[in-house]
Amino acid sequence: MATLARGPELDRAPVRRIGRPLAAAGAVATATLALRLRDPHVHGSWGFCPFKAITGWDCPLCGGLRAVNDLGHGQVGAAAHSNLLFVGLLLPVALVLWVAAVRRGWTGKGEPLSPRMINRLTLALAAVAVVFTVYRNTPWGSAWFAA
């Protein structure tokens, strides 16, 4: 009677390789559902931003919960008004990286981002976040980016 040898190819089945991206999608779906059930547009319903409490400035993520809530209701314009950085940059970048991780896990092809590329991406996003934060807290930016 032949026994089925358990080789490395069986341990790396596509479904097992995409477990982490699917878990991340589940966490995002759970958080989105929580934001549908408890409206972040109600002041203080999800607590307060420590950065804003200390400095009086809106941080780069202020309005992010409202943006997710608005997107959950299909209101893209309202979401962009709540936090354009999240809707216009962070969400698309996260979506592209997630799709790449799922594709890489399912097909087994492609390389994960190198540490150097991760550092560059992180620095670029941090620079954009600083510029966005300063601009949204000026008289010019506060007219559009009011949190």
Confidence band (pLDDT; 50, 70, 90) for 145? low
Please indicate, yes or no, if residue 39 is contained in any of the structural domains. no
Other CB atoms closer than 10 Å to residue 81's CB: what's the count?
18
Structure tokens at 116: 């150097």
Domain count for the chain, please give it.
Answer: 1
Q: Give the model's pLDDT for residue 98.
A: 94
The helix (H) or strand (E) run that includes residue 144 is none
Please indicate, yes or no, if residue 28 is contained in any of the structural domains. no
Q: Give the model's pLDDT for residue 43.
A: 86
Q: Which residues contact 136 (CB under 8 A, 6 or more apart)?
A: 58, 142, 144, 145, 147
Structure tokens at 93: 């970048």
Please indicate, yes or no, if residue 24 is contained in any of the structural domains. no
Backbone angles phi, psi at 45, to 5 degrees: -65, -25
Q: Give the model's pLDDT for residue 147.
A: 53
* Stretch 38-60: mean pLDDT: 91
Structure tokens at 111: 């390389």
Model confidence pLDDT, tens digit, residues 68-97: 999 999 999 999 999 999 999 999 999 999
Matching residue, tokens 């550092």: 119
Please indicate, yes or no, if residue 42 is contained in any of the structural domains. no
Q: Which of 43, 92, 82 is nearest to 60 (CA)?
A: 82
Structure tokens at 57: 């400035």
Which residue range forms the structural domain that includes residue 110? Answer: 47-147
